[in-house]
Structure 1
Amino acid sequence: MPGKVGPDELAEHVFERSGAHDDRVRQGPGFGEDAAAIDVPAGTLVVSSDPISLAASQAGRLGVAVATNDVAASGADPAWLTAVCLLPTDAPETLATVTGDLDDAARELGVSIVGGHTEYVDALTRPTLSLTAMGFADPFVPTGGATVGDRVVIAGPAGLEGTAILASDFADSLAVPAATIEAATAFFEEISVVPAARLLRDRATAMHDPTEGGVLAGLVELAGASGVELTIEREAIPVRAETETLCAAADVDPLRIFGSGALLATVPDEYADDAVAALEEAGIQAASIGSVTADDPSGRLTLDDEEITGPIADDLYPLWAEADERTES
């Protein structure tokens, strides 16, 4: 099954194999923690790497967004990127498309692309990117900072990235109106959470941007990193009409598809209403969707009356597998 490596395998094979000890590392590898934080003379440098391996459309724009979102969700202003681009040999025109998207998206965020690597690979049918984003944070906001009594706030609707992927990669197989496809494809322009993170970071106890596995995976990761129970109301989570329509046509859950474009945060209870109001005043759809109800070392997500456990597989993976099988046949 494709997707993220589970927490048990990470604990056994990854987290304890992090090379030499360095006291300057404030936040190293950890479940749910998407960025590292390193104390340097100029402040706290936040660094995060992320791949884009399956989405065929606007891979460069997606790559910039997912890498810079992780840095922003740690309280930093993303400033620099490196980009590794592995491209299909039989589609040389992909180079111009991908690098154009990278350049456009980085310029929009004021981020400099400072290095990387580009090559063609015979085995690839889609571009595969890996981007590393960097920036300084003050203060650094971890995924694992939620405390009992905090409220859980979401900035942005669920499934925005997944909806855009459905509209661009699977439009021919979904019986939905052309206007819905056109509107949903434009969601690629909205998947940065940098503005929302800037509004929340001074008061948030934890922040996390849901990516693979959607909002539910993001909540599970936040709960696990913080060692708490989150109690969430499904109906409180904003979902756009286009997302509902495309997900129904594809038979997938809006809360279990790629979720870039939303930001999860825990904030002190007394600040939650002000946080939502500030986000909405800035034109960012937001809602208070639940609370941190108990300490729980294992991490727990209760959605309405259902206990959700991870890891959560993204509902889009089977669709890509089916598309590849049709292509091969």
Structure 2
Amino acid sequence: MVKFSNTFIEREILTMLGVRDNSVVLGPGIGEDAAVIRINGSYMAVHTDPVTGSSNLLGWLAVHVAANDIATRGVRPRWFLLALILPVDSSENDVVRIMRQVNDALIELNASLVGGHTEKSDTVTRPIAVTTVIGVGDRFIRTGGLRSGDVVVMTKYAALEATAVLASDFKDKLMSVLSEEEFKEAEGLYKMVSVVNDALTAAEYATSMHDPTEGGVLQGLLEMAYSSGKLIIVDEDNIPVLPITKKVLDAFNLNPLTVLSSGSLLIGVKENEAGKLIEKLREMRINASIIGRVIDGEPGVVVKSRSGERYFKGDLTIPDGVMEMWLGSNIKGDS
């Protein structure tokens, strides 16, 4: 995804938020996944997210990607509104295909679609979905909650979403790289993009949670560091990446740490509670591991690897390779 810089967002956009409302306990902020509003002693989490990087998995991702951002608050996503904007040559069958995926995803989450909008427009060249999600809980967790001495636990694997999208939407470009079985494995990773169970399981222990989507795991870590005012030290060798992901991304010369990574959850937790959290996640059949530590320092991320250290700070915008490919393929007229 190609985003406006966070410097611009903070300087211009976040200064134009209308009137102050004291019931808003957590409003817009860099890296914060969902707004939180206090209502009658409970907390309502609300989030809106577009999906622009996939056509073949649009309905499924439209539900799960947005639901993840509510779940990172430690709140179960319950009510969804969906706006679909489709190219003018789209058929009714195209809408039905998308909505079947939406329905399947909602059933998996035990959630409901309560409203939305559907239209065709000559201003888009591929389908776009914009989803709003609402949930209510008795407490909430924020991205900016990291404390010095915390460790960062990551669930599942990096770049699950990117792998599934590339295998699904760019199949012709992978024909000479993957076997039929490998295609099935790569495409099937879309089933792992939800982190709702991960987040609701981790909520008991978490000081911070974040869902790395565009910009990937590295962008997610940067946003956690920035919003918390902390420095995160990461060991790249500890970040799990599936072999099939490496194979798919190598074919496009993409870095698994900087592409779409819905399906992974980044969790800040006290070091002495990390073992309990990991054990509980594994009881849920969710693999998890410690990938970094939180210390005082200028907000940013230090990535350690066998080749040395890289320090990321300042403006947090990291281009997403999958989205750039989508833009390039449409400009060039490729499939």
Per the TM superposition, whether the score is higher than 0.5 is: yes
Q: TM-score, normalised by structure 2?
A: 0.94
Code of the residue aligned with 2:10 in structure 1: it is A
After superposition, residues 30-109 of structure 1 pair within 5 angstroms as 30-41=29-40, 43-92=42-91, 93-109=93-109
Q: Which amino acid is 2:116 matched to? A: G
Deviations 1:122-152 (A, max 9, x none): 2322111100111013320000000000010
2: CA distance between counterparts of 1:203 and 1:134? 23
Distance 1:61 1:95 in 2: 13
Q: Is the 8 A contact 1:145 1:205 kept in 2?
A: yes
Within the alignment, does 1:306 sit opposite 2:310 as a pair? yes
Alignment check: 8 A CA contact 2:71 2:200 kept = yes
Q: TM-score, normalised by structure 1?
A: 0.96
More divergent stretch after superposition (43-52 vs 124-133): 124-133
CA–CA distance in 1 between the matches of 2:186 and 2:272? 35
Q: Secondary structure at the match of 2:267?
A: strand
Greater CA deviation, 68-77 or 122-131?
122-131
For residues 134-174 of structure 1, what are the alpha-carbon distances to aligned partners after superposition, in whole Å with 9 as ceiling and x for unaligned?
Answer: 10133200000000000100012100000001101112112
Partner of 1:232: 234
Q: C-alpha distance in 2, partners of 1:75/1:106?
A: 18
Separation in structure 2 between the aligned mates of residue 216 and residue 19 of structure 1, nearest angstrom: 32
Aligned to 1:196: 198
Deviations 1:217-272 (A, max 9, x none): 10011111101000001110111111011011111001111000000010001001
Q: Which residue of 2 aligns with 1:148?
A: 148
3-state SS of paired residue (2:333) = helix
Cα pair 1:176 1:249 within 8 Å, conserved: no
Residues 314-325 of structure 1: pairs in structure 2 closer than 5 A:
314-325=320-331
| Alignment match, 1:186 | 188
2: CA distance, partners of 1:9 / 1:283: 41
1:138 and 1:164 mapped to 2: Cα distance? 35
Alignment correspondent of 1:26: 25
The residue identity in structure 2 corresponding to 1:117 is H
Deviates further, 171-180 or 83-92? 171-180
**Cα RMSD (Å):** 1.4
Residue of structure 2 equivalent to 1:126: 126
Q: Percent identity?
A: 35
Q: Contact 1:54/1:126 (CA < 8 Å) preserved in 2?
A: no
Consecutive unaligned residues of structure 2, counting only runs of 5 or more, are none
Q: Partner residue of 2:294?
A: 292
Alignment counterpart, residue 223 of structure 1, candidates 197, 205, 225: 225
2:7 aligned partner: 8
State the aligned residue count: 326
Please say if 1:164 is aligned against 2:164.
Answer: yes
CA distance change for structure 1 residues 321 and 112 in 2, over 3 Å: closer, same or farther?
Answer: same
CA drift of 1:42 comes to 5.2
Unaligned 5+ residue runs, structure 1?
A: none
Between the aligned partners of 1:74 and 1:190, the Cα distance in structure 2 is: 19
* Partner Cα separation in structure 2 for residue 180 and residue 11 of structure 1: 43
